Amino acid sequence: MEDFEYVVRKQELQKIAFGSGCERDTSSKKGMTPFMRHYIYEDFPNISPTKYNPLDAFKAINTKPCPCAISRKGYSGIARFADTLNHGDDHPSPAEYSISTFPPKVKQSKYPFSSTAKRQTNSTNKNPGPGTHLPGGKRQIMYDHSFGGRVKMRLGVELKCCQRNTDICDLCQRKPLGDYWHKRNKSFLCRPCMLKEHREHKIYNAPQLKEFRKIRDCSEIHRHEGMPAKIWLMHPQVIKKWNRCEAYLSAYLID
């Protein structure tokens, strides 16, 4: 017990670390794992926004301060080593040219609007004019009654069925074409002469012209060929539909 020294002696610092006495290169990062490279300090400890010289940083590209070699082409892998092309602007600025000096290049068509179809220049309106119909009031088809007998629809234009039509216009002494007017089946006026009489009144005055009624012959729907029999030129159902439509519209139109 007397030879025991109750003193803790400081252990001497060994000259080896991690079981090796070789010097470690801490600047080249050679032989380090990616984890070690991520956390190790850079070789420029004095670089900060207020502690570095831009000229020194620019010269470092050529002087290679790091032990590692710096490639002049950049990084490898997905890097692009092709030379960049400087594309010059081929278009002048807005203040360097005038629009009037560059007329547009228009290719002339062989035909107007590239179409050979015929164009309708005048549009025809088939509707009756403002003074040719009576818009006011309710209109309906008129019927002729025979005191309990058969009811007959009153046609918009009287139909004259005969083997040969011998009616002559009193004004032009010609056979009427299409619809014409008659007065008690004795006096006749064709359409042009009726319009002329409404303006000039050469033979009939206005009250006398009101006594005329519109009539047409049967040559459009059938022919007789000198006999009482009929040869139909149109189907009877079509004629019936035509007469009904004409009878309804005649209530609105003015002769």
193-228 pLDDT, tens digit each: 999 999 988 889 989 999 999 999 888 888 888 888
DSSP at 234 = S
| 182 has pLDDT over 90 | yes
DSSP at 12 = P
CA angle 186, 192, 197 (to 5 degrees): 70
pTM for the structure as a whole: 0.45
| 58 has pLDDT over 60 | no
Domain ranges of the chain: 24-79, 143-249
- Give the pairing type, strands 213-217 and 180-183: antiparallel
Helix (H) or strand (E) holding 189: strand 187-189
pLDDT of residue 220: 87
Q: Per residue in 57-85, is it b (16+ CB within 10 Å) or e — as a string?
A: eeeeeeeeeeeeeeeeeeeeeeeeeeeee
Distance from C-alpha of 248 to C-alpha of 157, rounded to nearest angstrom: 11
Distance from C-alpha of 81 to C-alpha of 83, rounded to nearest angstrom: 7
Average pLDDT over residues 78-84: 68
Which neighbouring-strand residues pair with 232? 222
| 69 has pLDDT over 60 | no
Which neighbouring-strand residues pair with 253? 133
In this structure, the chain runs to a length of 255
More confident residue, 36 or 144: 144
